[in-house]
């Protein structure tokens, strides 16, 4: 595992794209030259932090280590954004923040485990920060402590898990192929079947449709709806294929990880779909936002307690995760403008958090099989529509997006 | 019914409601095995609070303590 991680860290660090962008934007070639040195600085800092959190577990700093980690990271973002630092210090601080941002949730899992582990900090904990089976900013499959729990315990377990891994790898590879074909045929993306598709009509991307709408060149409503559905299917195929590949490789290494995406089109409620589509992101929100809120607030009001905890996770946690994830936008736009540009995504989180909260309350004590086909259609319709607000560019206002959505429904709108 | 029996009965109820009729042993991993999820854990927490007056807010919460009948029974014994 250590060798695999070292190889991936050296060859394909998950922060490479952001650092390349940073280096060229600010004309700082030394960033890419010293990438390994910066990475080592971060890993030494992370190791020291884990060491101190175990040694001084009762110190006020480490009583709530995850909360303090995020407060510290946010403080550093403010410092890097507004403090008049000399250029080399300013550049270095941003580089460390970019690298730390990629591993933030890995560190959070490692810190949250510090009270439960009596063993000293092992290097394996750090190696898990970039598992060689792949990951996004979301740790697959959760933290290193979880990895030890799901490790195959006997040769029979190992064989079973590896076979499950192989099966999932075949399925994920098939999905990857379908995703690639879908992207090429439906959206005209470049790829290996280009020569056969010359001259065939393709759909525009959702961002393009919204942009055209805002400059007054409205696509026919039927095209808009087709784009919405195709965009939703594309995202679903993308998440299923990359998540499946990570989990399959992890299984082939002997860890019985649960699937990331599991039959999302069979979901009968909004909450169930969220649970089925990107399991490890949902688990991250549950572990760091849902449970802590649930145990802290509204103990005397069971339904409000569940709703509030769900909203804290799917609304607030989701917003925080994505705001910190898109650190290049913070650098590009400035902290304040990045926050202002986040308004549409914030609305997305509020709607999603509320919808999942209500859906959770409705599903308590109710057998899922009692809900019919129409429930599935409603769930898919909801997610198709809400994805309009899942704005990656932070370029338009809430009013622009809402006006586009209204236009989808009103026959007399432009 | 002893505590462990009550826990087992409650878990059985949750699984049946989810359409999962497969039997399970006391040490079978239900959470790590994907048979129960976070919402089910909250149901179990609610059950433990109501049935045994157990207060989980005072200690560090670890969902893995709700992985099997055995771990839940251990939790309320501790």
Domain annotation covers residue A400: yes
Considering CB atoms only, which of A116, A290, A366 is closest to B62? A116
- How much is the pLDDT for A185? 93
pLDDT at A315 over 70: yes
Q: Measured over all CA atoms, what is the biggest interatomic distance in chain A, rounded to whole angstroms?
A: 67
Chain A residues with beta carbon closer than 8 angstroms to that of B32: 149-150, 256, 258
Of B19, B39, B56, the CB nearest to A369: B19
Q: Determine whether the interchain pair A364/B39 forms a contact, defined as Cβ–Cβ distance below 8 Å.
A: yes
Among A107, A132, A157, the domain boundary falls at A132
Confidence of residue A230 (pLDDT cuts 50, 70, 90): very high
The verdict on residue A321 lying in a domain is yes
Write phi, then psi, for A315 (nearest 5 degrees).
-95, -75
**Residue A365 pLDDT:** 65
State the residue range of the domain holding A16: 2-132
Structure tokens at A38: 């910066």
- Confidence class of residue A14 from pLDDT cuts 50, 70 and 90? confident
A contacts of B39 (beta carbons < 8 Å) = 271, 306, 360, 363-364
Interacting residues of B15 by C-beta distance below 8 A, sequence separation 6+: B21, B22, B24, B30, B35, B36
Using the Cβ of B21 and the Cβ atoms of chain A, whether some distance falls under 8 Å is answered with no
> How many C-beta atoms lie closer than 10 Å to residue A150's C-beta?
20
Report how many domains make up chain A. 2
Residue A71 has pLDDT above 90, yes or no: yes
Q: How far apart are CA A164 and CA A168, in angstroms?
A: 6
**Per-residue model confidence (pLDDT) at position A405:** 92
Q: Is the pLDDT of residue A244 over 90?
A: yes
Distance between A66 CA and the closest CA of chain B, angstroms = 13
What CA–CA distance (Å, rounded) separates A283 from A139?
10
> Measuring CA to CA, how many Å separate A395 from each of A264, A333, A338, B7?
30, 11, 10, 52
Torsion angles phi and psi, residue A354, rounded to 5: -65, -45
Residue A413: pLDDT band by 50, 70, 90 thresholds?
low
Look at residue A201 in the predicted model and tell me its pLDDT.
85
Which segment, A131-140, A156-165, A200-209, is predicted with the most confidence on average? A156-165
Q: Which of A352, A354, A334, A350 is nearest to A394 (CA)?
A: A334
Q: Answer yes or no: are the C-beta atoms of A103 and A127 closer than 8 Å.
A: no
Helix axes of A65-82 and A87-112: crossing angle, nearest 10 degrees:
170
Would you say residue A320 lies in a domain?
yes
- B8-55 tens-digit pLDDT: 999 998 888 878 888 889 888 898 888 888 878 888 888 888 888 887
What is the pLDDT, as a whole number, of residue A367? 63
Q: What is the DSSP letter of B29?
A: -
Structure ipTM: 0.82
> What confidence score (pLDDT) does residue A100 get?
93
Beta-bridged to residue A151, according to DSSP, are: A255
Q: What is the pLDDT of residue A394?
A: 76
**A12-21, A29-38, A124-133, A209-218, range with greatest mean pLDDT:** A209-218
pLDDT value at A5 more than 80: no
Per-residue confidence (pLDDT) for residue A387, from 0 to 100: 92
In a domain, A191, yes or no: no
Q: What is the pLDDT of residue A67?
A: 92
Does A90 fall in a domain? Answer: yes
Query: Once rounded to an integer, what is the mean pLDDT over residues A239-268?
Result: 94
| B57 lies within 8 A of chain A by CB | yes
Tell which of A132, A151, A182 closes a domain: A132
Tell me, yes or no, whether A125 lies in a domain. yes
DSSP state letter for A142: S
Domain boundary among A132, A166, A200: A132
Question: Rounded to an integer, what distance in angstroms lies between the CA atom of residue B78 and that of residue B71?
Answer: 10
Contacts of B19 (CB under 8 A, 6+ apart): A367, A368, A369
Question: Does residue A232 belong to any structural domain of this protein?
Answer: no
Residue A173 lies in a domain: no
Selected residue with higher pLDDT from A393 and A228: A228
């Amino acid at each position: 595992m250590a060798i695999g991680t070292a190889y991936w860290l050296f060859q394909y660090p998950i922060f490479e794209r952001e650092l390349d962008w940073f280096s060229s934007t600010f004309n700082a070639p030394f960033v890419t030259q010293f990438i390994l040195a910066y990475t080592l600085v971060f890993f030494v800092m992370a190791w020291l932090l884990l060491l101190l959190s175990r040694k001084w577990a009762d110190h006020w700093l480490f009583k709530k280590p995850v909360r303090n980690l995020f407060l510290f990271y946010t403080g550093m973002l403010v410092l890097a954004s507004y403090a008049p630092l000399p250029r080399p210090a300013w550049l270095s601080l941003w580089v460390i923040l970019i690298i730390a941002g990629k591993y933030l949730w890995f560190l959070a899992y490692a810190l949250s485990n510090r009270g439960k582990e009596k063993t000293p900090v092992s290097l394996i904990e750090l190696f898990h920060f970039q598992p060689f089976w792949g990951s996004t900013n979301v740790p697959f499959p959760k933290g290193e402590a979880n990895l030890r729990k799901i490790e195959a315990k006997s040769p029979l377990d190992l064989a079973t898990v590896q076979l499950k891994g192989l099966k999932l790898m075949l399925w994920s590879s098939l999905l990857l192929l379908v995703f690639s074909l879908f992207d090429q045929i439906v959206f005209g993306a470049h790829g290996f079947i280009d020569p056969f598709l010359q001259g065939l009509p393709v759909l525009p991307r959702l961002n393009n449709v919204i942009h055209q709408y805002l400059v007054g060149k409205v696509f026919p409503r039927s095209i808009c709806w087709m784009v919405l559905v195709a965009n939703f299917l594309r995202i679903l195929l993308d998440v299923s294929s990359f998540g499946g590949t990570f989990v399959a490789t992890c299984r082939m290494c002997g860890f019985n990880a649960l699937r990331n995406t599991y039959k999302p089109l069979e979901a009968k409620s909004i909450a169930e779909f969220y649970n089925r589509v990107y399991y490890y992101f949902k688990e991250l929100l549950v572990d760091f936002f849902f449970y802590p809120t649930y145990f802290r607030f509204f103990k005397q009001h069971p339904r409000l307690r569940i709703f509030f905890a769900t909203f804290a996770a799917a609304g607030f946690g989701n917003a925080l995760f994505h705001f910190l994830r898109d650190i290049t936008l913070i650098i590009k736009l400035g902290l304040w403008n990045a926050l202002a540009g986040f308004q549409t995504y914030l609305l997305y989180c509020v709607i999603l958090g509320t919808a999942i909260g209500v859906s959770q309350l409705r599903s308590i004590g109710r057998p899922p099989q009692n809900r019919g086909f129409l429930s599935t259609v409603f769930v898919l319709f909801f997610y198709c529509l809400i994805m309009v607000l899942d704005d990656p560019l932070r370029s338009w206002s809430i009013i622009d997006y809402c006006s586009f959505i209204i236009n989808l429904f009103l026959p007399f709108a432009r | 019914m002893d505590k462990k029996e009550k826990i087992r009965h409650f878990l059985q109820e949750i699984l049946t409601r989810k359409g999962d009729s497969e039997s399970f042993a006391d040490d079978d991993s239900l959470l790590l095995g994907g048979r129960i999820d976070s919402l089910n854990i909250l149901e179990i927490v609610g059950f433990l609070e109501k049935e045994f007056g157990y207060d989980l807010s005072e200690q560090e919460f670890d969902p893995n303590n709700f992985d099997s009948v055995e771990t839940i029974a251990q939790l309320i014994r501790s």
